[in-house]
Amino acid sequence: MKSIDLKNIKLSQIQIFITAAECGNFTSAAESLFVTQPMITKTIQHLERELNIILFVRNRGKLKLTPAGRELYNKFKNLLFQLEDSIETAHILQEGRHSKVTIGISSLCIANNDPGLKRLKQIRSNFDDITFHTESNNMAVLVDKLISGDMDAIVVSKHILPKLKGFNFKWIEIVSSCLAIFVPDSSPVYKMKNPTLKDFKNESFVAFSPEKDRDYVNLLDDICNKAGFSPKISCYIDNEMSFKINLMMDNGVVLADSLVPLDDEHIRKVELKDYPNGLVMVWNPLNCSDALNRIIKSI
């Protein structure tokens, strides 16, 4: 393995890589960043050379992240998210605002256009005297940290609430949504005009392992059984980020909240309007600070 010299990689180059991945082509990325298209191309080539990793597959001007590129995109996105949050927190502390709450959010909710993250930003804008410290992780870890008291609140999918029944937690919905099935373009359902849940009878599902999220498995079983079939499982995963990778590898379809940013030009989102879901903020009322209580009352 080639030794990587991090001095040869700049944050601005990582930002260009992230923008190119989200735009899907170098021209749109250049327009978004107000730079030239050759500069974008040169930066990606530099990163690929320095990392010794192929980041994109190029096809007629369109970009598709390789599995290795997708892994770096997710990690780099999370890195920049935490860096920006740390700088924001440092500014607030410098200005003498000492009230602080720690809120966990799913590792899939780290894109700027994510509804959950946008809602948190909107809530934060109402409190100049409170520092919002946010941490991104998978849902299982977030729940464990809330239970242990390492977090003041977490933002998770509503389907996780049964897991918390044995605890004296409270919750409030911050974004409403519905469930959806995400379909790779290798599936016959991808090209159907108006697919319904019954059309997934012959599809294989990528699902959380029962050990990691039994409530998710029960939910998948319940909605498929109501449509008249039992779901076939192609593989079990341990965290949300593996959903995207398995969709890209054509390993099956995925049941998730419709807000989860899994769809792209090769992955179609089929919303299940009859199955409402949503994002909820969950907290422990026995460990609720004055700052968190003010935030909750404002929602």
Question: Is pLDDT larger for residue 91 or for residue 267?
Answer: 267
pLDDT tens by residue, 48-61 = 999 999 999 988 77
Give the pLDDT score at 181: 96
DSSP state of 282: E
In a domain, 1, yes or no: no
- Give the mean pLDDT of 277-291: 88
In a domain, 190, yes or no: yes
Give the pLDDT score at 162: 81
pLDDT tens by residue, 138-151 = 777 888 888 888 89
Structural domains counted in the chain: 3
pLDDT at 203 over 70: yes
In a domain, 78, yes or no: no
Q: 177: closest CA among 157, 162, 195?
A: 157
Give the pLDDT score at 72: 92
In a domain, 96, yes or no: yes
What CATH code is carried by the domain that includes residue 185? Answer: 3.40.190.10
- pLDDT-derived band at 98 (thresholds 50, 70, 90) equals low
Residue range(s) defining the domain that contains residue 224: 177-277
76 SS3 class: helix
Give the pLDDT score at 112: 47
Residue 115 tokens, joined = 């509804």
Same-domain pairing of 125 and 256 = no
Give the pLDDT score at 96: 59
What CATH code is carried by the domain that includes residue 36? Answer: 1.10.10.10
Same-domain pairing of 284 and 171 = yes
Q: What is the mean pLDDT of the chain?
A: 87
In a domain, 80, yes or no: no
Residue appearing with tokens 């909240």:
257
Give the pLDDT score at 2: 57
Same-domain pairing of 105 and 120 = yes
In a domain, 229, yes or no: yes
Q: 177: closest CA among 113, 282, 271, 283?
A: 271
Give the pLDDT score at 140: 75
Same-domain pairing of 204 and 234 = yes
